[in-house]
Amino acid sequence: MRHRAVAVGERTFEFSEYLVDQLGVEDVGATGRGRVVYHDSCHLLRGLRIQHQPRQLLHQIRGIEFVEMVDADYCCGFGGSFAVKYPVISTAMVEDKVRHILNARADTVVAADMGCLMNIQGALHRKSIPVQAKHIAQMLAE
């Protein structure tokens, strides 16, 4: 049974990793607008060691200005049950992330993890900040 699981794992890729590393595609013909930052989710960065692939894809989107934000690789505070078990710490972490997004003057924050996006968008919404939070697949589909 273990060998079957390993075999499946060897054929399983994260979305941006699959496009860039497996298919050799960086430009999908996407267009957008505004200033865009990328948030490295803990799962992708620390778990899967994926960092440059999403950025390679974002750099190819016509009409956007992609900029790195300070501490892009810092946790947003969601972490599954972490946000529930430690709400005060989680809130402080996402407020730091929002501050970095604002300091970068971003119109859109992009990530590849729906938990992060939900947490960041929730914080932006509660503060009535009109920055959009989008999954990288949404950015590439535009």
90-94: long-range pairs with CB below 8 Å, 24+: 90/119, 91/123, 94/119, 94/120, 94/122, 94/123
The pTM is what? 0.93
Number of domains in the chain: 1
Contact 66/52 with Cβ under 8 angstroms? no
Distance CA 42, CA 136 (A): 15
- Report which of 62, 116, 65 is spatially closest to residue 135, judged by C-alpha positions: 116
CATH no. for residue 89? Answer: 3.40.50
Note down the domain range covering 59: 2-141
Tens-binned pLDDT, residue by residue, of the chain (142 aa): 899 988 898 899 999 999 999 999 999 999 999 999 999 999 999 999 999 999 999 999 999 999 999 999 999 999 888 999 999 999 999 999 999 999 999 999 999 999 999 999 999 999 999 999 999 999 999 8
